[in-house]
Structure 1
Amino acid sequence: AFDVGLTGKDWIIETDADVVEVSDLVYSKASMRPVRWVLAVPESSSIQTVKDLEGKHIATEVVNITKKYLAENNVNAHVEFSWGATEVKPPELADAIVEVTETGSSLRANKLRIVEVLLESNTKLIANRNSWNDPWKREKIENMAMLLQGAIHAQGKVGLKMNAPKDALDKIMAFIPGLRTPTVSNLADGKWVALEVIVDEQTVRSVIPDLKRAGAEGIFEYHINKLID
């Protein structure tokens, strides 16, 4: 077995881990964007910048990241590790928190506002350096990275197949917002061709009726699990 793990940029910084960062895997629960580690305080708090945290109490899961950020800003504050439910700790148990957020909805629900963003983070595929230096293991890790990236790239994409009369091909092609020019194959009937293309799923509802009206037949949509560029 080779030593490989899935973790985030924040974990690497927090632990100062000596690992090989093989690949960025940018996705999150509600979107395909990185998440943010933010400094947040109660909406009614007088704290407006990191400088206002001098002598204050901060709760967070990323103690080292927070301490480094405070040091960079020449601020002395008490940083305490939070075992969970960090958003509910201000104002009674903490003056501020450093917490991860994607949309900010959880912070707003707990009547918190963002003061500053410490860093953006995303999942990373990492490898043990000894494993990475082994050619056989490195190839397996690179294969895994390729397949994981392919699964992420496939999100929100679908495939379309259809038959089309050759004399309507240009008209049909005008309605296809594909990643590349569609694959076109001749059918046994020389007057017809088969087309295949990958498109954004959100466009399919408008594209398929347009294709049908332009002369395409036998149109069908299918999901894809991986898309390797």
Structure 2
Amino acid sequence: MDQLKLGLPKGSLEKATIELFEKAGWLIKPAARNYFPEIDDPDLNCSICRPQEMSRYVEDGLLDAGITGKDWTMENKSDIVVVCDLVYSKVSRRPTRWVIAVAGDSDIKTIKDLEGKKISTELVNVTKRFFADKNINVNIEFSWGATEAKVVAGLADAIVEVTETESTIRAHGLRIIHELMQSNTQLIANKKAWDDPWKREKIENIALMLQGALNAARIVGLKMNVASDKLDGVVSILPSLNAPTVASLYNQDWYSVETVVSEDIVRDLIPKLKKEGAEGIIEYALNKIIS
């Protein structure tokens, strides 16, 4: 039986990825003592891998596809297929940022002031290429973790670190002087697997469902009944992806109106709909929106 070898990211992205797959239709049960979680799809064979190593495993064919960060694909300069972007993280639905930070009281104000300085980072190759392109000579050292503390302890003049909210950077008294790049999660594939018709279709189906689940984030459905003489007023204030669905009720001078809207406007929209004459208003969650 054909199986697709799929890599799932370990660490900060693991929980968010498993939740995303569940919303997309796959139930993944992590195993407590190994890196091979169960999944309710006989076509898939899952492995948990560090995002930093994922693109290498995919490139080498140890995995057919995997989810990792754009940053680590760039770091490894991996020869793989980027199937699609999946913009999510452990705390938000926005890209992460790799930034250059220094001590809050440092004399370093711009990246040019880093000439001859020591920089600590886990993203060594990308950082080297960045400073080489800027013709700025720096000493870049690999950081095994707790990178923010390197500046505090005087082990480095600056760091290149990933952030979502900047809270950890601020907690260490650091100041951001430059944004190196933005990154997001991606579904990537091995080139040989991508050329296999069965595997490619499976990968594309996974991409479709994952993107559909992300599209539905903070989007809800609204359904209501509206009398015919109130219909134009209700429809005029209804946002929708295209246009609201309007269907006549059986043997009545009433209509059923249905649409999808952003969750953050519902609290203001429903009172307005009620005021315009909508009745029996129902709000319901959405799992997927397929474009």
**TM-score (norm: length of structure 1):** 0.95
| Number of residues of Structure 1 aligned to a counterpart in Structure 2 | 229
2:105 is aligned to 44
Among 129, 132, 138, the alignment partner of 1:71 is 132
Unaligned 5+ segments in structure 2 are 5-63
1:154 is aligned to 216
Among 121, 134, 140, the alignment partner of 1:60 is 121
Among 263, 279, 282, the alignment partner of 1:220 is 282
What is the deviation of 1:180? Answer: 2.1
Letter aligned with residue 176 of structure 1: L
2:50 is aligned to none
Moved more, 34-43 or 103-112: 103-112
Name the CA distance, whole Å, in 1 between partners of 2:110 and 2:126. 17
Task: Kindly provide the CA deviation profile for residues 9-49 of structure 1, in whole angstroms up to 9, marking residues without a partner as x.
Answer: 11111001110001011223443321111111011111122
1:94 is aligned to 156
Unaligned 5+ segments in structure 1 are none
Name the CA distance, whole Å, in 1 between partners of 2:259 and 2:251. 21
1:17 is aligned to 78
Matches within 5 A, 1:167-182: 167-182=229-244
Moved more, 199-208 or 107-116: 107-116
**TM-score (norm: length of structure 2):** 0.75
Name the CA distance, whole Å, in 1 between partners of 2:215 and 2:168. 28
Letter aligned with residue 165 of structure 2: T
Letter aligned with residue 214 of structure 1: E
Name the CA distance, whole Å, in 1 between partners of 2:169 and 2:249. 57
Letter aligned with residue 81 of structure 1: F
What is the deviation of 1:118? Answer: 1.3
User: Secondary structure of 1:69's match?
Assistant: helix
Moved more, 100-109 or 148-157: 100-109
What is the deviation of 1:170? Answer: 0.3
Name the CA distance, whole Å, in 1 between partners of 2:65 and 2:130. 29
Name the CA distance, whole Å, in 1 between partners of 2:236 and 2:145. 53
Root-mean-square deviation (CA), in Å? 1.3
1:82 is aligned to 143
Asked if the contact 1:159–1:197 (Cα under 8 Å) also holds between the matched residues in 2, the reply is yes
Asked if the contact 1:50–1:73 (Cα under 8 Å) also holds between the matched residues in 2, the reply is no
Is structure 2 residue 157 aligned with structure 1 residue 124?
no
Name the CA distance, whole Å, in 1 between partners of 2:118 and 2:204. 43
Identity across matched positions, percent: 57
2:259 is aligned to 197
User: Secondary structure of 1:90's match?
Assistant: helix
Name the CA distance, whole Å, in 2 between partners of 1:225 and 1:110. 39
Task: Kindly provide the CA deviation profile for residues 29-82 of structure 1, in whole angstroms up to 9, marking residues without a partner as x.
Answer: 443321111111011111122222222221111011111112112223221211
